[in-house]
Amino acid sequence: MKAEVDAMHEAGIEPKLVVIIVGNDPASQIYVRNKHRKAIKLGITSIIERRPQDFTQAELLALIDQYNRDDSVHGILVQLPLPKQIDETTIIRAIAIEKDVDGFRPENIGKLFNNSQGYYPVSCTPKGIMTMLSHYEIDPRGQHAVIVGDSNIVGRPMGALLLNAGATVTYTHILTKDLASFTRTADILIVATGVAHLIKAAAIKPGATVIDVGMDRDENGKLVGDVDYDHAKDVAGAITPVPGGVGPMTITALMQQTLELTKLATQ
């Protein structure tokens, strides 16, 4: 990507990402800082707009509108979750479609679930996971992929991407009865629940690929995943650690999508 950014600079193009963060969610603070650092490293201009916990929906809509109308900006990301006085759906739909760097707008989600061809942005964590699977030559075609967690940011788009890549997909979630009976049949297991160490070694099929999207704290305050890594690693064929597994891939996907939107806006 660095070479691509350098070439853009030589052509007089300055890729620019705006990240808006409202309130003081501690995990969000870390994500936003890491995104900013990576952008700077690549030569992508990154603007962080920090607003207080009591920022109103009208104020946030006005801020988004300002960047929608700013032609020098190629991507707008509103960090989730938002404080409770602000409606997430309204905010996502306020971002101009050509700047929807998260792929959260209904039009882009529709394309994903239709397996539309051509470029459109996709939620960054699932996209980064697909890049990781591809890098390690783990081909989802014909494999049983089990998704644990039905969030709009990870679980749902992840299932769609894997289905589009030829996997047989099972969605499981908080209401699923006997979760382990599903996870034990997974060739590819994606866990995104926010529950520390939810998935134990006995719930994993020997040789399975295990992708842990969790960013949880254990009883000692240590950062851990949704999978009991220390035991699961002896059963899995491949497994991502927390931290350092999926997180960096999410940021990579965000940078890639910023560059894609920059190209679309400037070609």
- What positions carry a catalytic annotation? 35, 79, 102
Q: Contact at 8 Å (CB) between 220 and 191?
A: no
Q: Is 190 in the site for ligand GUN (CB under 6 A)?
A: no
Q: Which residues contact 10 (CB under 8 A, 6 or more apart)?
A: none
> Residue 196: which of 176, 233, 225 has the closest Cα?
225
Q: Is 122 in the site for ligand GUN (CB under 6 A)?
A: no
* Residue in the block written with tokens 């009883």: 219
Strand duo 144-148 + 168-172: pairing: parallel
Interface with ligand GUN (CB under 6 A), residue from 78, 196, 211, 236: 78
Q: Is 77 in the site for ligand GUN (CB under 6 A)?
A: yes
Q: Is 80 in the site for ligand GUN (CB under 6 A)?
A: yes
Q: Is 193 in the site for ligand GUN (CB under 6 A)?
A: no
Q: List binders of ligand GUN among 88-107 (CB under 6 A).
A: 102
Query: CA–CA distance from 166 to each of 98, 142, 169, 189, 255 (Å)?
Result: 28, 6, 9, 15, 26
Q: In the complex with ligand GUN, which residue's Cβ is closer, 26 or 142? A: 26
Q: Is 187 in the site for ligand GUN (CB under 6 A)?
A: no
Three-state secondary structure along 52-74?
Answer: CCCCCHHHHHHHHHHHHCCCCCC
Q: Which stretch binds ligand GUN (CB under 6 A): 55-63, 65-73, 77-85, 195-203?
A: 77-85
Query: What is d(CA 172, CA 187) in angstroms, rounded to the nearest whole number?
Result: 15
Q: In the complex with ligand GUN, which residue's Cβ is closer, 78 or 188? A: 78
Q: How many helices (H) and strands (E) does the chain have?
A: 10, 10
Interface with ligand GUN (CB under 6 A), residue from 153, 169, 189, 255: 153
Q: Is 79 in the site for ligand GUN (CB under 6 A)?
A: yes
212 is in an annotated binding site: no
Q: Residues annotated as binding site for NADP(+)?
A: 149-151, 174
Chain contacts with ligand GUN (rule: CB under 6 A): 77-80, 102, 124-125, 153
